[in-house]
Amino acid sequence: MFVKQISVFIENTPGRLAEVTQILAANNIDLVSLSIADTTNFGILRGIVAEPEKTAALLSEHGYTVKLTDVLAVYVPDKPGGLAQILTMLSNERIALEYLYSFVRNANDFALIIFRVDQPQAARTLLTQAGVKLLTQRDIAAL
Amino acid sequence: MEHIIWNPTMECMPREQLRTLQDERLRDVVRRVYENVPFYRNKMQERGITPMDIRGVCDIELLPFTEKQDLRDHYPFGLFAVPQSEIVRIHASSGTTGKPTVVGYTGGDIDRWSELMARSMYCAGIGKADIVQVAYGYGLFTGGLGAHYGAERIGATVVPISGGNTVRQLMLLQDFGATALCCTPSYALNLAEALEAQGVKQTKLKSGIFGAEPWTQAMRERIEAMLGIDAINIYGLSEVMGPGVSVECLCKQGMHIWEDHFLPEIIGDDNRGLPYGERGDLTFTTLTKHGMPLLRYRTHDLCELTSEPCACGRTHVCMSRVMGRTDDMLIIRGVNVFPSQVEHALLQVEGIVPQYQIVIERQGNLDTMEVQVELSPDFMSDTVRDIEALENRIVSAIAAHALVSATVKLCQPGTLPRSEGKAKRVLDKRQM
């Protein structure tokens, strides 16, 4: 139950990011969630879309350097301690977290958060056994 | 204008007499390298020539060329023509990593170098009464010690301050009352600007001898205006000797090459000699060096020689400013950099396409070099850390192979300019 995240290299030149979003718009692709990691020299756009493989191919055709990564899309209880509980579980099992960011939509009492961990299988098993709800790629498409 | 000449007998020698002297010295150096340097003996034997075949300068084209690569191939001491016990000094080319080009000097060579730098000091109007601040780097680089020995030979008061530490330079410049300055033109500009920032209107400086990097007439005028001095151009390269191979006199109409010690040729694209007035590859045969004599060393600096007599009375031929390179070598912060070495470095790194562009700029008075290189479509990571690690691998590879520290900008594939023929890899935005 992994979700595929697209990451796109964004050169630090004006207009590059705008161009990426224009390509998605022109192809009717909705960004369910996104995050941008920035450094002095470049940025990485990380995004969740309904059809990641197609989107990756589309951006590659336009000359962008793209990668697909397995991430966990997690329903996190939207109350104090909701995130802490999940992070503690991961840390107790020595599962390292690379980064996380939240969805632009939420579902009632839940926040939707994308987790990138260093041991995706182990994390998935751990969270599912603990009763934490994860989304599938199909769930994303239906959002 | 008065021109005081250090060694009038040699410097003003009639050209016919000079030519006879060159013929004699050329025969001598050819014999010495043939007998003592296997590299040259082999090269001459390959061509079927012996020292007896060289009657004089008229036979120069029978002799082989020497390239920088030959010095690298025989690193460190393979081209020395005397036993190492006769070598009293080693100098090496600039660059902080990798193997440098090495030069060796006998006591006689150092003495001759000092003589030529003494002539050069007088060319710039510097004499015994002057206080000379030598702000070229002292060390393996030939600049500092070269200027030092020349200033000392004429009996001037030498301040061997070396490069850097501008605040201190300025303080001592004013406290000691230096009347002459020796450094790179960009450093001279640095000092001039720092003086201006301090509100100093006037120093005791009257002249400066600047070299070790190319600079334009416009730059000269700026330095002269800001410091109120005569800014004299000096040329040299460590392989041939160091600074003082040629130098301008106060006429500022070209740099006199000391022809009693160096035989210059301008070589064209077909490897034949070109007449005066035509631009080509400046090539030197050292007539009097004993430690490491060189035959027909290709500098790959582009210039012209002029047959116009100079008003100063010196008869030695003048060369124009260096107008560029015949190869693609760049000088960045005083270090020789070859774009082909940058390319070689990039080929060692996975994750990039070796489509690159080198952008050189001058920020303040320092050169900066940015290597723009395209990310490979196959290489991508979702973490900043991995991409930064790639950038660092590129920086390290460039430092190891091109001997220069550059910043790296990763670019999207397909965005750097392509061309049909030879790609224009270097964008030099400096205006020297």
pLDDT value for B96: 46
DSSP H or E stretch at residue A142: helix A137-142
CA distance B431 to chain A (A): 25
Q: Which residues of A touch B414 (CB under 8 A)?
A: 63
Q: Looking at the complex, does the CB of residue B382 fall below 8 Å from at least one CB of chain A?
A: yes
Q: For the residues B258-287, what does the mean pLDDT come to?
A: 97
Contact state of A63 with B413 under an 8 Å Cβ cutoff: yes
Hey, are the CB atoms on A11 and B415 less than 8 Å from each other? yes
The pLDDT, as a whole number, for residue B418 is 72
- Pick the closest to residue A32 from A43, A44, A47 (CA basis): A47
Give CA–CA dist B79/B40, Å, rounded.
Answer: 9
Average pLDDT over residues A98-110: 79
**Does B355 or B109 have the greater pLDDT score?**
B109
Contact A7 B411 (CB under 8 A): no
Residues 6+ apart with CB under 8 A from B131: B156, B157, B159, B176, B177, B178, B179, B180, B204
Asked if A65 and B414 come within 8 Å (Cβ–Cβ), the reply is no
Q: How far apart are CA A62 and CA A43, in angstroms?
A: 18
Average pLDDT, chain B: 92
More confident residue, B330 or B209: B209
Q: Give the C-alpha separation, A34 to A52, whole Å.
A: 13
pLDDT band at B98 (very low <50, low <70, confident <90, very high): low
Q: Average pLDDT for residues B347-376, to the nearest whole number?
A: 87
ipTM of the complex: 0.82
For chain B, percent of residues with pLDDT exceeding 70: 97
Half-sphere exposure of residue B322: CA atoms within 13 angstroms, side-chain side: 24
pLDDT value at position B94?
61
Task: Give tens-digit pLDDT for B118-164.
Answer: 999 999 999 999 999 999 999 999 999 999 999 999 999 999 999 88
> What is residue A12's predicted lDDT score, i.e. its pLDDT?
82
Which residues are CB-neighbours of B158 under 8 A, at least 6 positions away? B132, B134, B148, B151, B152
Closest residue in B to A16 (Cα–Cα)? B412
- With 90 as the cut, is the pLDDT of residue B175 above it? yes
Q: Where in chain B is the domain with CATH 3.30.300.30?
A: 331-428
CATH class of the A3-69 domain in this structure: alpha beta
Residue A103: what pLDDT?
A: 75
Please give, rounded to a whole number of angstroms, the shortest distance from the CA of A116 to a CA of chain B: 9
pLDDT reading at B423 higher than 70: no
Domain with CATH 3.30.2130.10 in chain A: 3-69, 72-136
Q: Over the stretch A114-140, which tens digit does the pLDDT of each residue have?
A: 999 999 999 999 999 999 999 998 888
Shortest Cα distance from A130 to chain B (angstroms)?
Answer: 28
Could you say which of 3.40.50.80, 3.40.50.12780, 3.40.630.30, 1.10.10.10 is the CATH number of the domain covering B8-327? 3.40.50.12780
For residue A112, how many C-alpha atoms fall within 13 Å in the half-sphere facing its CB? Answer: 19
> What's the mean pLDDT in A63-79?
91
Give tens-digit pLDDT for B289-339.
999 999 999 999 999 999 889 999 999 999 999 988 888 788 887 777 888
Q: What share of chain A is helix, strand, coil (3-state, %, to 5)?
A: 35, 40, 30
> CATH for B331-428?
3.30.300.30
Q: Measured between CA atoms, how close is A67 to chain B, in angstroms?
A: 6
Q: Coil, strand or helix: which one is A77?
A: strand
Q: Nearest by CB to B411, which of A7, A11, A60?
A: A11
Tell me what pLDDT residue B281 has. 97
Q: Averaged over B226-252, what is the pLDDT?
A: 97
Indicate yes or no: CB of B387 within 8 angstroms of CB of A5: no
Q: Is A81 left (phi over 0), alpha (psi -120 to 50) or beta?
A: left
pLDDT at residue B376 in the model: 84
CATH superfamily of this structure's domain A72-136? VC0802-like (3.30.2130.10)
Which residue of A46, A64, A116 is in closest CB contact with B412?
A64
Residues in B closer than 8 angstroms to A98, CB to CB, are 382-383
What number is the average pLDDT over the span B268-276?
95
Q: Which residues of B touch A63 (CB under 8 A)?
A: 412-415
Say what the pLDDT of residue A104 is: 62
Residue in A12, A39, A66 closest to B380 by CB: A66
Half-sphere exposure (Cβ direction) of A116: Cα atoms closer than 13 Å: 18
Nearest CA in chain A to B415: A63
B375, B376, B382 ranked by CB distance to A5: nearest: B382
Residue in chain B lying closest to A35 (CA): B382
Q: Is the dihedral of CA A49, A53, A58, A64 positive or negative?
A: positive
Q: How distant, in Å, are the alpha carbons of A83, A100, A117, A128, B195 from that of A73?
A: 13, 10, 11, 12, 63
How many angstroms separate the CA atoms of B124 and B207, rounded? 7
List every span in chain B annotated with CATH 3.40.50.12780.
8-327
**For residue B419, is pLDDT > 70?**
no
Q: Residue B265 pLDDT > 50, yes or no?
A: yes
Report CA dihedral (B78, B82, B86, B92) to the nearest 10 degrees: -40
Structural tokens at position A124: 């998935």
Q: Do the chains contact at A65 and B375, CB–CB below 8 Å?
A: yes
Which of A134-143, B183-192, B335-344, B417-426 has the least mean pLDDT? B417-426
| Min distance A27 CA to chain B CA atoms (Å) | 21
Chain B residues 347-376 within an 8 A CB cutoff of chain A: 375-376
- Closest CA of chain B from A26, distance in Å: 21
Q: Write out chain A residues lying below 8 Å of B383, CB-based.
A: 37, 44, 98-99
Give residue B416's pLDDT band: very low, low, confident or very high (50, 70, 90): confident
**Which candidate in B355, B380, B386, B416 is best for mutational testing of the A interface (most A CBs within 10 A)?**
B380
